[in-house]
Structure 1
Amino acid sequence: MRLPLALICSVITSVAAAAPTVDKAPAPELARLKAAAQRATILRDKWGIPHVYGKTDADAVFGLMYAQAEDDFGRVELNYINAMGRLAEVEGEAELYRDLRMKLFINPADLQEQYRQSPAWLKKLMVAFADGLNYYLATHPDVKPALITHFEPWMALSFSEGSIGGDIESVDLKQLEALYGNGAKLPLPPPVLMSAARGSFDLDQEPGGSNGFAIAPSLTRDGHALLLINPHTSFYFRPEVQVHSDEGLNAYGAVTWGQFFVYQGFNDRIGWMHTSGGGDVIDEYLETISEKDGQFFYQYGAEQRPLKAVDITLPYKTAAGMDSKVVKVYYSHHGPIVRAADGKWIAVRLMNEPLKALTQSYIRTKARNYQAFYKAMELRTNSSNNTVYADADGNIAYFHGNFIPKRDPKFDWTHPVDGSDLATEWQGLHTVKETITLFNPKNGWIQNTNNWPYTAAGAYSPKARDYPAYMSKYGENARGIHAVRVLENKKNFTLASLIAGAYDTQLPAFEPLLPQLFAAYDELPAGDPLKASLAPQIAALRGWDMRYSLESVPTSLAVYWVQDLYTANQAAAKAKEVQVLDYLQAAITPQQRLQALERATAKLTADFGKWQTPWGEINRFQRLTGDIVQPFDDSKPSLPVPFASANWGSLAAYGMTSKQTTKRIYGERGNSFVAAVEFGPRIKARSVLAGGESGDPASPHFYDQAAMYARGEFKDVLFYKADVEKNLERKYHPGDQQ
């Protein structure tokens, strides 16, 4: 799982509304921006969702970026501050190595050159991207950027793929600092433990990722393909938008703040849903380092190759003003050196193709059929995601990853390989045809929950024996088991029944764990004090159907019980590089299971007065401020939420990711933007967004979807302009008087 930097940082940007005024821009520039603004029209519907219209794609992009800035400029700016490795300029020295990590891969001069080499159509979009944001700043002088006062077109290339966390964020910050903090030198620094084995889920955080379901016409009531779009991101990470032009653009869905393409969504002909975690796309190389006359070399076959040395300047904010630190970093031909282990320096190799990635991200939104979408996939730069697809022609499809390097399967690519061995080199990329895909499987449905692809279509799923191990790095998960149950042997799907399936209340993760608890209890001697003290709790859990609800006491007890087991055993599970739930099933004693239930009972009693506390009293939705990192307060209003953590197999995922300082659990990650789409002659769709469209607490659209969200209740998507106009809140050009 990759965590969004927005959950780690706390950049505060004023978004106070102001009557538009003119910035001190040069007159020709201002005239150009004003003319562009008149070519874009924004229709805000009754939910505040922007439907942006332009004659050209560039006109529509201008309006889209302006609308995003209106809704939450702070998040737009933060994404680019982070993407360009400039966070320490705002947050201070503590973020130096986060910036260094980005700058190992992102170089403004390289991006500027790629911008110059871009095709004319894409240059126009990048110019419109920058213009829309700059015009927003020019007309909103009371908005004070934290750092970026002027956006440049090339900046779009620094943040080009749309995933919740890029591949670069897989580099461990503690190990990066251990290597470079006092200058990379021999002998090697002491090892620093990784937070988790590379390629595995982060075991002590709410799982990220998403659910994607596609249903073929043969299984739907009205004979039209259906698609469930269910990203599990940090809340408020993506707003809901529609962007339309007379050049064939008509995309609706979730856009990552600051990007000009719909990341997960649909047009009038096709839909696409990305789920994280396809193949193994990031490799580490153990480099054998020697030093001679002050220069470092690494072994490659029989050669001693010089490491490339680069000085990277890292500005940072201090109490007295700005300062900077220069760090000398090293590269082998495999990539930057990012850590040291086992007496070696380790280089990381990953996809770094911003121009192709931005191209693919945009052109897929304009695809009109499967063939055009497949052609976009052939760019092979959607590195961190799987894709679930459906279209108006009745096709459903699945792509497990998109960027998959060819490698010798005799090596274990989940761990660092010997960089001196020529056999460990990448051998180009697999073609899309060579990767794990599905097209119209006979069972009539496809699912992915960040799990392996080998249950994606039931009996018609791909077979693991047909692919190298590196093609799929994750195993099955509880949501995957749940999804198959929801979809198999069902017919006559509608939008309503698809949504109901996506909110099915089962929690399959408890199914193997509770019988072990009951067995441990039953084996207790009659005189054991736990036999009497835990009898009511065991009785409650025995009678539980393992389904969540607001009124369910066993849900509360079971969650607190396994959370306690998680806390006690996650370090041991990490050491063995296994999932915590797998470890809990296989490696703990009966006494540990019972003692954890005793502690869970005590905690519930201490926090809520009694252990018999309904789940809805504990699990809550709260949005108090527009801060990037939300504060939570048990004394402030909140809403009860029935669905639970993805850890427990809840398809409708809801979990807390920050350190809990409250008694109640407040969701921060999981279901965020959710949509269900029917691809008939006329698009029918329903959606819901966590909280609301705006990041401004003063806006009526800051919280207007919160109660619906908490109930799992969806609104009708207003896809057609006539429907938008019937539900219109405001129609305007960027910069108009507000």
Structure 2
Amino acid sequence: MLFRTRLRRLGLAGVALVTAAAALPSAAVADSGDRHDRHPSGGGLSAVVRYTEHGIPHIVAKDYANLGFGTGWAQAADHVCVLADGFVTVRGERSRHFGPDAAPDGSLSSAKKNLSSDLYFAGVRDARTVEKLLATPAPAGPGRQVKELMRGWAAGYNAWLKQNRITDPACRGADWVRPVSTLDVARRGFAVSVLGGQGRGIEGITAARPPGAAPVAAPDAAATAKAARDLFSPDSAAMGSNAVAFSGATTANRRGLLLGNPHYPWQGGRRFWQSQQTIPGELNVSGASLLGTAVVNIGFNDKVAWSHTVATGVTLNLHQLALDPADPTTYLVDGSPERMRKRTVTVQVKGKEPVTRTQWWTRYGPVVTSLGPSLPLPWSATTAYALNDPNAANLRASDTALAFGKARSTDDMVRALRRTQGLPWINTIAADAQGHSLFTQSQVLPRITDDLAQRCSTPLGKVTYPASGVAVLDGSRTGCAIGSDKDAVQPGIFGPSTMPTLRDALYAENSNDSAWLANADRPLTGYERVFGNLATPRSLRTRGAVQDVAAMADRRGLTVADLQRQQFANRVPAADLAVADAARACPAVLPGDTAACAALAAWDRRADTGSRGALLFDRFWRAFATLPLAEQWKVPFSAADPVNTPNTLNTASPGFAKALTGAVAELRAAGIPLDAPLGAHQFVMRNGKRIPVHGGTESLGVWNKVEPVWNAPGGGYTEVSTGSSHIQAVGWDGGRCPVARTLLTYSQSSNPASPHYSDQTVLFSGERWVTSRFCEKDILRSPQLRIVRVRERQVVSPEATAERITG
């Protein structure tokens, strides 16, 4: 009632939230989750979008379809070109519009060329894979509310296209910007779900061909094991994250605290987008959504806050097939022949004849001949490999996210994970207003137990599984089939009772290593190898993070301000371990080069924009860190002291001198002073303006991770590929409003014409935050409040219906 009263005071009693959204006929509502035509609604959807500082929308609607409508409309307003490009990808139409040889942006497809991407997604389309998942009853399939959100999102996106002129030069006037359907939105979710499984094997799936007459060599076991280990190493991931939850035992007010710092792409379709979603009396959640998603993926409400980190669980496995000697497209199971299924796919190609290729599918999944360029899996006359990806049957991630948005405690979040089981490749870290903390690696993984791997691994699998968690099972025996857990919602995956989980620890932290050291004083053990490793060296980012958060927990009395300080401390753990020894050894390596040695010695060991010498150490360390650990350090790793070992720089290693002299020569050749401030040569350009960027790369161990793109002729690091993205520091003070500070490092819009194209990037550069406006009183007090009533049947521009309200 209070909310409606405030709307009336603003003259908004007739907005879509309360009365203006026409209800669909009951039959249409019942059918709406399964309708996938180009008109995903009856034309009567609407919402209220209230914009506050930095273009952050607070979307209010009366139900899920209308909330999805407002979300799709507002996302299109900020990212229409990026979204449209992604829909071209998941429809399998990139070659038609952009030619076969260009590369997708990598957000939804790992393929190196459009043609391979199209062959895969066109195959998904032709097999009606996503339609079948949508038709699967919950809990194995998506629930009704999520289907309504997707239906509304598609209608909102379409309405924005119809009512607005595109100003972004990336797609202005492009014929590939088209209306979408509910099915298109679901296909996008499917593409994200399989990123860690079939998504890794797109090239190998679409290129698989039966062998010819020439003999084909078997894969080298040692080389394959190394390639698999590298492929699934946290260091090699295109994305990462940090997150920490503190329990009330460590905080000033006995309530929980959460700091989330996901490291996601700064460009393309895997960007985050901020919003608040409200259905009065039903849902009120604020946070960030992956583009094209109708829910808040990471965020907070008035009782809980959560973030995610990319997990170490291996989301695929291989089945080695024993082939019929007379026919390499027939494989044997318990001695009986079984023919592969042909999936013939045709792709339209710009300026050329259509391309038709055949994919080969088995009871285990598609035949795959590689997992990336360094991991070949040759198809010979006797052997082929099939890829099993359980997330190819998982369209439940949005159900999990929606349940998180409604949660009132970390207990509720655990129950939501048990019920929905939808997260494909991420951990969850959470805190609540009651003072509880949570870490859980609840993800959809193939049910590979260590016992099954021991009994059923092929000779190749006996090497790859211990090294990387990639199982290669004997596909010729039904006794080696993946079983099911009783509490799993789909066959062939682990149930929730097996997930590594840590509850109510003083702190629960993850920086993309396995669950083992979520809390160094309460190590998690007993999980299967497919979840991740145990008692092995941690990354420098994990080591530095555990040192930092453990010290914070010991201090007690923590507040949101402490989380903010941790985010931008920009401490370089590699420097704390190595720079003093490097500076001492420098004169012997670079005799007479006092400038280089002085720059190292004087560096403040931070990655701030003003840190002098940071760039020299960065370029040195990137080369040095590629050496084996035994060549980097004198003191080896000890599982009894995993946070502090290995240590003591090995300056006698030949690689040390090579890396240091190479870094000095490189910077001088580029005309970059050895003691230049980091921000002078680590920056991004936005609309002709240079914006300095702080933070550092993975190997340096900086919490505030950024992966900048090196361009020596351009002045150093001139762009960021991935890194700190939607940052949130959240707590509670006992009132109704959470205490939250956020920052979207690359800003809310990808359109250079938008006022919100780089405004938060400037804030990030200056280590400044956005104070979240969650409660009604705070939203209505925004000096930049702008209210837009968005309607499906609207015929005038949104600007004509917008109101600017102050006070």
TM interval, shorter chain, is: 0.7 to 0.9
Decide whether aligned partners of structure 1 residues 78 and 362 sit closer, same or farther in structure 2, where only a CA change above 3 A counts: farther
Give the structure 2 partner of residue 327 of structure 1: 357
Give the structure 2 partner of residue 593 of structure 1: 656
The alignment of Structure 1 onto Structure 2 pairs a total of residues equal to 673
Residues 505-561 of structure 1, C-alpha deviations (whole Å, 9 max, x = no match): 221234555577568658x5xxxxx45144543354345453223333331111111
Q: Tell me if 1:75 matches 2:82.
A: yes
Q: How big is the shift at 1:588? A: 10
Q: Tell me if 1:469 matches 2:509.
A: no
RMSD over equivalenced CA pairs, Å: 3.4
Give the structure 1 partner of residue 731 of structure 2: 678
Kindly report which structure 2 residues correspond to 1:146-545, keeping only aligned pairs within 5 A, or say none. Answer: 146-147=175-176, 149-160=178-189, 166-168=195-197, 170-172=199-201, 175-176=204-205, 178-180=207-209, 185=212, 187=214, 196-197=227-228, 200-201=231-232, 208-236=239-267, 237-290=271-324, 292=326, 296-318=329-351, 323-339=353-369, 341=377, 343=380, 344-350=383-389, 351-378=391-418, 379-409=420-450, 410=454, 411=457, 412=465, 413-414=469-470, 416-428=472-484, 429-441=493-505, 444-463=506-525, 466-472=526-532, 476-488=538-550, 489-511=554-576, 514=579, 517=582, 530-534=589-593, 536-545=595-604
- Normalising by the residue count of structure 2, what TM-score does the alignment of the two structures yield? 0.76
Give the structure 2 partner of residue 556 of structure 1: 615
Distance 1:659 1:609 in 2: 12
Q: Tell me if 1:129 matches 2:123.
A: no
Contact 2:727–2:742 (8 Å) recurs in 1:
yes
Decide whether aligned partners of structure 1 residues 480 and 660 sit closer, same or farther in structure 2, where only a CA change above 3 A counts: same
Distance 1:178 1:392 in 2: 52
Residues 289-341 of structure 1, C-alpha deviations (whole Å, 9 max, x = no match): 3364x6711233333322112112222223x6xx4211111112111011163
Q: How big is the shift at 1:461? A: 2.6
Decide whether aligned partners of structure 1 residues 468 and 483 sit closer, same or farther in structure 2, where only a CA change above 3 A counts: same
Distance 1:588 1:647 in 2: 18
Match 1:656 to one of 696, 702, 708: 708
Distance 1:562 1:712 in 2: 25
Q: Tell me if 1:112 matches 2:131.
A: yes
Contact 1:33–1:135 (8 Å) recurs in 2:
no
- Normalising by the residue count of structure 1, what TM-score does the alignment of the two structures yield? 0.83
Residues 557-586 of structure 1, C-alpha deviations (whole Å, 9 max, x = no match): 11111234468999x99xxxx9xxx99999
Residues 111-158 of structure 1, C-alpha deviations (whole Å, 9 max, x = no match): 234434555444432321221111112212556455352211122321
Larger relative CO (CA 8 A, sep 6+): 1 or 2? 1
Residues 339-387 of structure 1, C-alpha deviations (whole Å, 9 max, x = no match): 1636432211112224433433333322233343223212322120110
Distance 1:125 1:298 in 2: 43
Decide whether aligned partners of structure 1 residues 202 and 660 sit closer, same or farther in structure 2, where only a CA change above 3 A counts: farther
Distance 2:257 2:82 in 1: 32
Give the structure 2 partner of residue 15 of structure 1: none
Greater mean alpha carbon deviation, residues 257-266 or residues 411-420: 411-420
Kindly report which structure 2 residues correspond to 1:657-736, keeping only aligned pairs within 5 A, or say none. Answer: 657=709, 662-665=714-717, 666-679=719-732, 680-681=734-735, 682-727=737-782, 728-734=784-790, 735=794
Distance 1:281 1:106 in 2: 22
Q: How big is the shift at 1:68? A: 0.3
Q: Secondary structure at the match of 2:85?
A: helix
Q: How big is the shift at 1:672? A: 1.3
Contact 1:295–1:306 (8 Å) recurs in 2:
no
Decide whether aligned partners of structure 1 residues 211 and 32 sit closer, same or farther in structure 2, where only a CA change above 3 A counts: closer
Greater mean alpha carbon deviation, residues 300-309 or residues 447-456: 300-309
Q: Secondary structure at the match of 2:591?
A: helix
Contact 1:199–1:473 (8 Å) recurs in 2:
no
Decide whether aligned partners of structure 1 residues 207 and 295 sit closer, same or farther in structure 2, where only a CA change above 3 A counts: closer
Residues 364-419 of structure 1, C-alpha deviations (whole Å, 9 max, x = no match): 32223334322321232212011001122222111114223332412524253332
Q: How big is the shift at 1:288? A: 2.7
Residues 263-295 of structure 1, C-alpha deviations (whole Å, 9 max, x = no match): 111122222211112322211222233364x67
Distance 2:721 2:713 in 1: 14
Greater mean alpha carbon deviation, residues 509-518 or residues 604-613: 509-518
* 1:472 maps to amino acid: G
Give the structure 2 partner of residue 93 of structure 1: 100
Q: How big is the shift at 1:187? A: 4.7
Q: How big is the shift at 1:648? A: 0.9
Q: Secondary structure at the match of 1:326?
A: strand
* 2:731 maps to amino acid: E
* 1:490 maps to amino acid: R
Contact 1:206–1:646 (8 Å) recurs in 2:
no
Q: Secondary structure at the match of 1:668?
A: strand
Decide whether aligned partners of structure 1 residues 612 and 356 sit closer, same or farther in structure 2, where only a CA change above 3 A counts: closer
Distance 1:667 1:508 in 2: 21
* 2:87 maps to amino acid: Y
Decide whether aligned partners of structure 1 residues 507 and 347 sit closer, same or farther in structure 2, where only a CA change above 3 A counts: same
Distance 2:709 2:319 in 1: 31
Structure 2 unaligned blocks of 5 or more: 1-37, 102-113, 138-142, 167-171, 370-375, 458-464, 485-492, 638-644, 800-807
Distance 2:508 2:646 in 1: 29
Distance 1:515 1:297 in 2: 62
Kindly report which structure 2 residues correspond to 1:16-95, keeping only aligned pairs within 5 A, or say none. Answer: 35-37=44-46, 40-94=47-101, 95=114
Give the structure 1 partner of residue 28 of structure 2: none
* 2:472 maps to amino acid: P
* 1:648 maps to amino acid: L
Contact 2:668–2:674 (8 Å) recurs in 1:
yes
Q: Secondary structure at the match of 1:556?
A: helix
Q: How big is the shift at 1:35? A: 2.7
Distance 1:605 1:370 in 2: 53
Q: Secondary structure at the match of 1:274?
A: strand
Distance 1:531 1:515 in 2: 16
Contact 1:449–1:480 (8 Å) recurs in 2:
yes
Distance 2:613 2:731 in 1: 37
Q: How big is the shift at 1:184? A: 5.9
Give the structure 2 partner of residue 546 of structure 1: 605
Distance 1:117 1:144 in 2: 38
Structure 1 unaligned blocks of 5 or more: 1-28, 525-529, 625-635
Greater mean alpha carbon deviation, residues 406-415 or residues 431-440: 406-415
Q: Secondary structure at the match of 1:685?
A: strand
Decide whether aligned partners of structure 1 residues 162 and 290 sit closer, same or farther in structure 2, where only a CA change above 3 A counts: closer
